[in-house]
């Protein structure tokens, strides 16, 4: 037997064993770790649910323009005889149901041919989600008679251009062509859903604006 092999066996016999013995993890510590993991999972699920609920309620801005459309004919939007004298104040009065409110409304009239009505309004919602359409009510004079004109016509009210979905806030605006000869005196916006009008607001136009100037519109009550 060689010296080198004998020396190797002696060194191997003197080496300490490589076995490491660890103490068992206490049961309470394992339970604590499991509980902590469960709490983290619950918090993550709650955060994901909250983000999904509020995604549809984020502020939105929509611009709608109808200036290029042909002027509605008398058959499409028939003029109605003016109601009682207090109809003007009633039409522009601000209304709000279940937290839905038209917060601002700005209206200007461009009397160039053809005459254009430009509008911009913002909607705040502190209640349930609003899904419906909006309409414009114009009170004015046409051919010497007091006239009430509603746009869009009933047949077009389900058009996607006039559909709205408001979670918390939305701002929108656009323009449309007025019927020939109609001089607007007041303009109101109505937010309508299947159960009826949920919010409305109007402005009374100044004499300068109704006649072709750029005076400010006076908001309703």
* Whole-number Å distance between alpha carbons of 212 and 209: 5
Alpha-helical (H) ranges within the chain are 3-14, 27-55, 87-92, 207-210
Question: Each residue of 51-77: pLDDT tens digit?
Answer: 554 544 444 444 444 433 434 443 344
Q: Which position has the higher pLDDT, 138 or 206? A: 138
Question: Each residue of 153-204: pLDDT tens digit?
Answer: 877 777 777 888 999 999 999 999 999 889 999 999 999 998 899 999 999 9
Query: Which pLDDT score, from 0 to 100, does residue 97 have?
Result: 94
Alpha-helical (H) ranges within 56-113 are 87-92
| 92: phi then psi, degrees, rounded to nearest 5 | -95, 0
Query: Which pLDDT score, from 0 to 100, does residue 87 have?
Result: 66
- Quick check: 106 pLDDT over 60? yes
Domains of the chain: 60-219 (2.60.40)
The answer to whether 127 and 85 are in contact (CB under 8 A) is no
The answer to whether 201 and 102 are in contact (CB under 8 A) is yes
The answer to whether 157 and 201 are in contact (CB under 8 A) is no
Q: How far is CA 149 from CA 11, 61, 114, 122, in A?
A: 108, 27, 17, 22
Strand 100-110 to 116-125 pairing: antiparallel
The answer to whether 214 and 108 are in contact (CB under 8 A) is yes
Close Cβ partners of 54 (under 8 Å, ≥ 6 residues apart): 167
* Whole-number Å distance between alpha carbons of 182 and 177: 10
Query: Which pLDDT score, from 0 to 100, does residue 118 have?
Result: 94
Query: Which pLDDT score, from 0 to 100, does residue 75 have?
Result: 39
Query: Which pLDDT score, from 0 to 100, does residue 206 have?
Result: 78
Question: Each residue of 91-100: pLDDT tens digit?
Answer: 788 999 999 9
Q: Which of 220, 210, 176 is nearest to 87 (CA)?
A: 220
- Quick check: 79 pLDDT over 60? no
* Whole-number Å distance between alpha carbons of 218 and 150: 20
Query: Which pLDDT score, from 0 to 100, does residue 103 have?
Result: 96
Q: Which of 116, 100, 67, 98 is nearest to 166 (CA)?
A: 100
The answer to whether 189 and 200 are in contact (CB under 8 A) is yes
Q: Which position has the higher pLDDT, 213 or 165? A: 165
Query: Which pLDDT score, from 0 to 100, does residue 73 have?
Result: 41
Query: Which pLDDT score, from 0 to 100, does residue 24 have?
Result: 61
Close Cβ partners of 143 (under 8 Å, ≥ 6 residues apart): 181
- Quick check: 49 pLDDT over 80? no
Question: Each residue of 109-144: pLDDT tens digit?
Answer: 998 878 899 999 999 999 999 999 999 999 998 888
Query: What tokens does 156 get?
Result: 């077009």
């Amino acid at each position: 037997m060689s010296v080198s092999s004998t020396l190797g066996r002696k060194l191997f016999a003197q080496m300490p064993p490589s076995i490491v013995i660890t103490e068992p993890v206490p049961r309470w510590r394992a339970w604590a770790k499991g509980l902590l993991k469960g709490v983290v999972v619950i918090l993550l699920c709650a955060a994901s649910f909250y983000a999904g609920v509020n995604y549809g309620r984020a502020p939105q801005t929509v611009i709608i323009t109808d200036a290029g459309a042909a002027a509605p004919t008398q058959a499409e939007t028939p003029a109605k005889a003016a109601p009682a004298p207090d109809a003007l104040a009633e039409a522009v009065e601000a209304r709000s149901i279940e937290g839905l409110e038209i917060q601002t409304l700005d209206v200007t009239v461009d009397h160039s041919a053809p005459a254009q009505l430009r509008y911009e309004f913002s909607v705040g919602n502190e209640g349930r989600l609003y899904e419906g359409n909006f309409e414009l009510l114009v009170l004015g004079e046409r051919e010497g008679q007091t006239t009430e004109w509603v746009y869009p016509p009933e047949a077009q009210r389900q058009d996607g251009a006039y559909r709205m979905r408001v979670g918390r806030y939305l701002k929108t605006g656009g323009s449309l062509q007025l019927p020939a000869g109609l001089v607007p005196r007041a303009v109101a916006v109505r937010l309508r859903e299947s159960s009826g009008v949920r919010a409305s607001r109007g402005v009374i136009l100044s004499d300068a604006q109704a006649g072709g100037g750029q005076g400010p519109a006076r908001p309703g009550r």
